[in-house]
A and B are shown apart, each in its own frame.
Chain A
Amino acid sequence: DGQSTEHDEL
């Protein structure tokens, strides 16, 4: 999947 969906923001 294209962009990482790891969400590092609050």
Chain B
Amino acid sequence: MNIFRLAGDMTHLFSVLVLLLKIHTIKSCAGISLKTQELYALVFTTRYLDIFTDFISLYNTVMKLIFLGSSFSIVWYIRRHKIVRRSYDKDQDTFRHYFLVIPCLVLAVFINHKFTFKEVMWTFSLYLEAVAILPQLVLLQRTRNIDNLTGQYVFLLGAYRALYILNWIYRHFTEPHYVHWITWIAGVVQTLLYADFFYYYFQSWKNNEKLQLPA
């Protein structure tokens, strides 16, 4: 464990807790894409298949349980909670899951480190995580208004993966044979997808004005 990875995990944890607290407190999911949240639940499910078979550390297991619990709770709130669900904008949140799930699955079958079920599922979760934010970014551009909690949520999500890239660079230099080029490529693609959002986020923060994404 290095400081970049710990900072990345904490940023990631903070992003999902910010979102969960927002939905729980104001009982609204305005501006939140259910599609993205469902994709994240799928990412964590396919990535943590080994949660009960391979014990890495208490930290690792606890964090996996928190990510699984929070992502499914958020999906439950938006789908089932009698008050929250009313603020879900299903007419705008129309991104089709399978446009992302199918290509990631096909890619994972052909490009992976080892052709076993768990390894293909793990690789699929990496590819899917890289693109899972797209429905959320599309929704933000459509609704054009971004309340600052949603803006912070997306920013923290992008920041966590950027910190992970620093972690991979650090591990590349400090640990022999630490080679996970699939992880690195997926991580860089994911962070680049946030890049334009980062640009507008910083612009709005610098000019102290409301965050507006171009149509």
- Contact residues of A with B, CB < 8 Å? 1-10
B60 engages A6 (CB within 8 Å): no
Inter-subunit contact A10/B64 (CB<8 Å): yes
How many angstroms from the CA of A1 to the CA of B157 in the assembled complex? 33
Interface size class of B (residues with CB under 8 A): 20 to 34
> Count of A-B contacts with CB under 8 A?
28
A9 to B4, CA, bound (A): 12
Kindly report which residue of chain B lies nearest to residue A4, judged by CB atoms: B177
Residues of chain A within 8 A (CB-CB) of B164 are: 9
Q: A10-B9, A10-B67 are in contact. Are A3 and B60 (CB under 8 A)?
A: no
Contact A3 B179 (CB under 8 A): yes
Interface membership of B124, Cβ < 8 A:
no
Q: Which of B5, B113, B119, B179 contacts A9 (CB 8 A)?
A: B5
In the complex, A7→B118 CA distance in Å? 11
Residues of B within 8 A of A8 (CB): 56, 60
